[in-house]
Amino acid sequence: MRVKFDTSALGQTKFHQYAIRFIFGGCITVAAGLVASKFGPAVGGLLLAFPAIFPAGATLIEKHEQEKKEKKGLSGTVRGRQAASIDAVGSAMGSVGLLVFALLVWQFVASHPAWIVLPGAMAAWLAVSVLIWEMRLRARTLRRKDRRDPRASQVEGE
């Protein structure tokens, strides 16, 4: 399965949907700062991994997939739900990268310049997330092969 860019999704998203994400993103960033000021950085830090725009994103994916099916005259309810579910699986994998990001910042930001630590931790987030995604994909491919011909994957594994 190849990763690709699909610019057609841009046309499907309406202006107010972009605005909702912007406002949610801005609000949670402000909230994280205010909570840290009021209750200390140990509590405020929790909000740095808050799934702020996850509900908006999942709803949007469900809606787009539903509309695609309905244009073909089919009910897209199930497809929409499945697409949102698959997106959530991706986010779960990305959250492991998020954990690595936080770990690296915690360990290195006090002793190294932030302009090096933050982009470095960002690169680690991307690398870990993509690696887990790739591993899951390969494991699934292998399982499918197993179902078709159990001996085929045994030979490959040897």
Partner 1 sequence: MIQILLRFLVGGVVVSAFALIGDLLKPKSFAGLFGAAPSVALATLGLTVATKGASYGATEARSMMAGAIAFFLYASFVSWVMMRYRFQALSVTLGAMPLWFAVAFGLWSLGLRP
Show contacts with partner 1 in window 116-155 (CB under 8 A).
118, 121-122, 125, 129-130, 133, 136-137
Q: In the complex with partner 1, which residue's Cβ is closer, 26 or 149?
A: 26
* Distance from C-alpha of 78 to C-alpha of 58, rounded to nearest angstrom: 14
**Residue with the two structure tokens 């499918």:** 144
From the list 9, 116, 127, 135, which residue makes contact with partner 1 (rule: CB under 8 A)?
A: 9
From the list 68, 69, 79, 96, which residue makes contact with partner 1 (rule: CB under 8 A)?
A: 96
Q: How far is the CB of 125 from partner 1 (least distance, A)?
A: 6
Q: In the complex with partner 1, which residue's Cβ is closer, 25 or 154?
A: 25
DSSP letter (8 states) at residue 53: S
Number of residues that bind partner 1 (CB under 8 A): 86
81: left (phi over 0), alpha (psi -120 to 50) or beta: alpha
Residue 62 is encoded by which pair of tokens?
């469900």
* Distance from C-alpha of 55 to C-alpha of 121, rounded to nearest angstrom: 25
From the list 68, 69, 79, 91, which residue makes contact with partner 1 (rule: CB under 8 A)?
A: 91
Cβ burial of 135 (10 Å; 0-12, 13-18, 19+) is exposed
- Using CB under 8 A, which residues numbered 97 to 116 contact partner 1? 97-99, 101-103, 105-106, 109-111, 114
Please give the torsion angle defined by the CA atoms of residues 147, 1, 57 and 121, in that order, rounded to the nearest 10 degrees. Answer: 110
- Using CB under 8 A, which residues numbered 11 to 50 contact partner 1? 13, 18, 21-30, 32-34, 36, 40-50
Residue 109 is encoded by which pair of tokens?
């930001």
From the list 54, 127, 141, 145, which residue makes contact with partner 1 (rule: CB under 8 A)?
A: 54
Q: In the complex with partner 1, which residue's Cβ is closer, 6 or 158?
A: 6
